[in-house]
Structure 1
Amino acid sequence: MTDVIVLNGGSSSGKTSLARALQRLLLPTPWLTLSIDDLIAALPASGGGVDIGPNGEVTVTAAFHTLERAWSVGVAAMASAGAPVIVDDVFLGGSDSQNRWRSALDGLDVLWVGVRCAPKVAVSREAARGDRVAGMAARQAELVHEGVTYDLVVDTTVGPAEECARRIVAHMG
């Protein structure tokens, strides 16, 4: 039985909508959804170790990586205690990011899902959202998948969140 579903995709790729659709389809078992945005929202407004440049480039410091590691271990502890978790993340470090999660989730049954979205569509979603720095979606669309291995890849460009979520649930058996 799957303990953790990790969704990795760039900004505005549809991860959060997909996570919510998964929660609806996986009922009656309640699944927690935890996002890298939750961790970033918990950081102090300045000095949290995440800097977003004027063109959407994201830079993180060693201090952030320390907090991120602690957060992922906490997520793993929740899953180990019996709370199934959907992780909504952006692997800015590609395979290094995945390896950090692999280490934290060791011993758990994890489903790795790549969430793809055509850059032009992600950019359009980014503009419509209004809560992201322009350029972030375009920069991250391919970067976050470099060197990452998945059990399943879904494309939110061509399928709505519910359809992609059904594919994930079917893959889980």
Structure 2
Amino acid sequence: MNGTSSSGKSSIAEELLQLLDGPCFHMPVDAFHAMRSRREVGPEELPEILRRTWRGFHRAVAGMAAAGNNVVVDHVLSEEWRLLDCLELFSARDVVLVGVRCSLDELERREHVRGDRPAGLAARQFPRVHAHGLYDFECDTTSASARDCARQISTFLPQRPRPTAFEQLRTKLRPDLPAVD
């Protein structure tokens, strides 16, 4: 699932795990950021630390999936390199790309209530996170509950299209990679 901070991805993922058959793993990028030591770093170091964290997260997700696990990922594709990295690493046929949308007003309200995000984070991500423009399924948490979105997604999964959005994006954005069988 891709969406801005505070869009409801983690809440949907928790609900999905209750609805999907078989064992599934929720892998939120926030968990990877939380594993990092809390040592203060300078603003010149932070971008590279964050990039390594995101790259490590992508490889952990790919490893779990390659080992045969079903993985529900919540992600923020607000930088193009993140999507390009995922397109290289993940099996494109097996990825169902879900866009989680929410109005900016509601995102800002949630962010304020949460109090655990930098002010304006969702607003900075908002114009970029869905820039690639292609999903297999989209939901809007502005008014729909996480449970309703999870139900919609679980109903959609058995009828996902071919080629998947991920396959189409891989062909379009990473033509240097071998074609998917």
The 1:132/1:67 distance shift into structure 2, 3 A limit, reads closer
Q: Structure 1 stretches of 5 or more lacking a match? A: 1-6, 52-58
Query: Any conservation in 1 of the 2:101–2:141 contact (CA below 8 Å)?
Result: yes
Q: How many residues align?
A: 157
The 1:107/1:47 distance shift into structure 2, 3 A limit, reads farther
Query: Any conservation in 1 of the 2:8–2:141 contact (CA below 8 Å)?
Result: yes
1:92 CA displacement = 2.0
Query: Any conservation in 2 of the 1:115–1:153 contact (CA below 8 Å)?
Result: yes
| Residue of structure 1 equivalent to 2:4 | 10
The 1:34/1:71 distance shift into structure 2, 3 A limit, reads same
Higher relative contact order (CA 8 A, sep 6+): 1
Higher helix share: 2
| Residue of structure 1 equivalent to 2:167 | none
After superposition, where does 1:159-170 map in structure 2 within 5 Å? 159-170=144-155
Secondary structure class of the residue paired with 1:134: coil
User: Is 1:40 aligned with 2:33?
Assistant: yes
Pairing partner for 1:171 from 152, 156, 164: 156
Q: In structure 2, what is the Cα distance between the partners aligned to 1:101 and 1:69?
A: 9
Secondary structure class of the residue paired with 1:157: coil
**TM-score (structure 1 length as normaliser):** 0.81
Root-mean-square deviation over aligned CA pairs:
2.1
Q: Structure 2 stretches of 5 or more lacking a match? A: 159-181
User: Is 1:73 aligned with 2:59?
Assistant: yes
User: Is 1:83 aligned with 2:80?
Assistant: no
Higher strand share: 1
Pairing partner for 1:138 from 123, 132, 136: 123
Query: Any conservation in 2 of the 1:76–1:104 contact (CA below 8 Å)?
Result: yes
1:61 CA displacement = 2.3
